[in-house]
C-alpha cells in the first residue's frame, strides 16, 4: 500500500467516495463496522471473537485484518497502539462527508 492509498483523500481533501463504496460493498466489512459502532474500540482478537460468536462466520483473523485494511484505506476505521495491542475504532467522518451533499 502506498502513502497515497493509506487514507483515501482526493486532491481537494475530500474522502475518496469510490474507496468508501468499495469498502461498504462487502457484507463482512459492514458487520465489522456494526460491531465497531456497538463497541467503541476493539482489538483484532476481540473483533474476531465477536464475529465468530455473534454471526457464526467462518473467518480467520488474517481475513478480518485484510477487511480492516480496506476499511482503514477508505478512512472508515482508524487504529492506535495500546500497549502491545492494536486497537481499531470506527470513523464516521467519511460517511458524514459522503452524505452531506445528498442528505442536507
66, burial (CB in 10 Å: exposed 0-12, middle 13-18, buried 19+):
middle
Across the chain, what does the average pLDDT equal? 88
Instruction: Look at residue 5 and tell me if it is in a domain.
Output: no
- Structural domain harbouring 24: 15-103
Under the banding of pLDDT at 50, 70 and 90, the label for residue 5 is very low
Instruction: Look at residue 7 and tell me if it is in a domain.
Output: no
Instruction: Look at residue 46 and tell me if it is in a domain.
Output: yes
Distances (CA, A) of 62 to 10, 23, 46, 84: 29, 17, 13, 18
What lies within 8 Å, CB to CB, of 65 at 6+ separation is 44
pTM of the model: 0.84
CATH code, 67 = 1.10.10.10
The pLDDT tens digits for 24-49 are: 999 999 999 999 999 989 999 999 99
Residue scoring higher pLDDT (46 or 8) = 46
Domain count, the chain: 1
Amino acid at each position: 500500500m502506498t502513502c497515497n492509498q493509506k487514507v483515501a483523500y482526493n486532491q481537494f481533501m475530500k474522502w475518496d467516495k469510490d474507496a468508501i463504496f468499495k469498502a461498504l460493498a462487502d457484507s463482512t466489512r459492514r458487520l465489522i463496522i456494526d460491531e465497531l459502532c456497538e463497541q467503541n474500540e476493539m482489538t483484532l482478537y476481540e473483533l474476531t471473537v465477536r464475529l465468530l460468536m455473534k454471526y457464526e462466520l467462518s473467518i480467520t483473523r488474517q481475513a478480518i485484518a485484510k477487511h480492516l485494511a480496506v476499511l482503514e484505506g477508505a478512512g472508515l476505521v482508524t487504529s492506535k497502539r495500546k500497549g502491545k495491542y492494536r486497537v481499531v475504532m470506527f470513523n464516521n467522518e467519511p460517511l458524514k462527508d459522503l452524505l452531506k451533499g445528498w442528505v442536507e
